[in-house]
Amino acid sequence: MTSKFHTLKIKDIRPETDDCVSIAFEIPTADMPEFVYKPGQYLSFKVIVDGEEIRRSYSLCSAPHEDEWRIAVKQIENGLFSKFSKTLKVNDLIEVMPPMGNFTIDLDPKNAKEYVLVAAGSGITPVMSLAKEILKTEPNSNVTLFYGNKGAQSVIFREQLEVLKNKYIRNFRFAHIFSRENLGIDIQKGRIDALKFNNLWDAFIGDEKVDEVFVCGPEQMILDIKDVSLRRGVADKGVHFELFGTTIVHEKTEELKDVHSQVRVIIDDDEFEFTIDSPEQNVLDAGIEAGADLPYSCKGGVCCTCKAKILEGAATMDVNYALTEEEVANGYILTCQSHPTTEKLVVSFDE
C-alpha cells in the first residue's frame, strides 16, 4: 500500500449536469503501475484552499478497460473542494493518491451472475464504473441498476446510461426513481427506501437469485437496501456499500479506558514513536502531531485511506464503514477511528 501523493495533470474537464463536472487525469508512464485500479475504487486529493490544506476522496466513474482515470465532482453547498474544482482547467496540476477502496469485486469472464446496483445522486460514480466493467468483462452476467435523483436534470451520466442500455440490451436494465418529478409510473416516484426497493425487486427482479448487491448513497438508504437484500436471500458478504458521509449518530460500542500507550508507526520504511495518554485521542491525529505525514482523507471512518495494520498490541475503533470483516480479522484498522488499548502499539501503513 502506498501513501504517497503524485502530481497529475488534468487531461479533460466536461460538464455532466448543471452542477456536476467530470475530470480526467493524465497518468505518467512511471506512475502507471501504482494507478492500476479496480472498478468502484476512488482517488484521494490534496489541495490548498485559502491557505488551508484540504483532502477529499472521489470515486472513479471510468472503468479500467477504458484506460482512463476520471472522477465526477458535484457542487455542494459550502463544499470547499467542489468550489475549488470550478477553478480547475485542463493542464492544471493536482496532488493525487493512487486508487484504493473496497467497494469493488474481482470479475471473471466465466461468471454468470446477477448483479443489483443501487445509487442515489452522485453515488452513481463508483456504480457507473462497476456497471461498465461488469458488462464488458462478464458477458454471461446481468446487471440491474436503480438510480435515484430529484428529477431528470439531476441525472449524472444520463447519456452514458442510455448507451449502455442499447449496447448491452440483453444484459443491462435500469430504472430511474425521481423524488420530485413524476414519470407517470408510481414505482418510479419517491425515494429509494425499504418499501420502494421491495417493490422494485418484485417488478424488475422477481424470483431471480441475486449474487451481488452494490449500493452507494445516504446511510439510511444503505441500511434499507442491505436489510431487504438479506431478507431476499442475498448472502451477507454479497452486499457491498459505499458511504459518502453519515448523519446518523452511533453510540460507541465500549467505553474507552484510560491508557498510557507507547505507539510506533511505520510508513514508507520510516518509523515514528509517540505516546497517547488520552483515551479520546486517535492514532492518526497523534501521529500527525508527532510529525508523521500519514495518509488520510475523510477522518470519519468512511474511506480507507488511513488504513494500517497492527503488528503488535491492540486498538479499538469507534466506527468502521470501510474495512471488510476479513481485513479487521487480519489486524487492519482505520487509524482515524482507533484508540490503543495496550501499553504498546505498533502499526504499519506499509502492509
Query: Distances in Å between the alpha carbon of 307 and those of 260, 264, 350?
Result: 23, 15, 10
pLDDT at residue 248, rounded to an integer: 47
pLDDT of residue 251: 52
Q: What is the phi-psi region of residue 51: left when phi exceeds 0, alpha when psi lies from -120 to 50, beta otherwise?
A: left
Q: Which three cell numbers stand for residue 222?
A: 444503505
Closest CA to 243 of 122, 147, 338, 82: 122
| Sequence letter at residue 169 | I
pLDDT at residue 256 in the model: 66
Predicted confidence at residue 351, as pLDDT, reads 87
Helix (H) or strand (E) holding 239, with range, is: strand 239-243
CA 288 to each of CA 192, 255, 294, 336: distance values in angstroms, whole numbers, following the listed order? 40, 24, 6, 11
Q: Which three cell numbers stand for residue 26?
A: 493524465
Q: State how far the Cα of 90 lies from the Cα of 175, in Å rounded to an integer.
A: 34
Alpha-carbon distance values, 43 to 56, 61, 339 (Å): 8, 11, 26
Please give the Cα distance from 207 to 280 (Å, whole number).
Answer: 49
Per-residue pLDDT of 25-67, as tens digits, reads 999 999 999 999 999 999 999 999 888 999 999 999 999 999 9
With a CB cutoff of 8 Å and minimum separation 6, the contacts of 162 are none
Backbone angles phi, psi at 172, to 5 degrees: -130, 130
Cell numbers of 280, please?
A: 479520546
Within 8 A by CB and 6+ apart from 202, the residues are none
* 214: its cell numbers: 452494490
- Write out residues in the chain with pLDDT < 50, as ranges: 248-250, 253
pLDDT reported for residue 50: 85
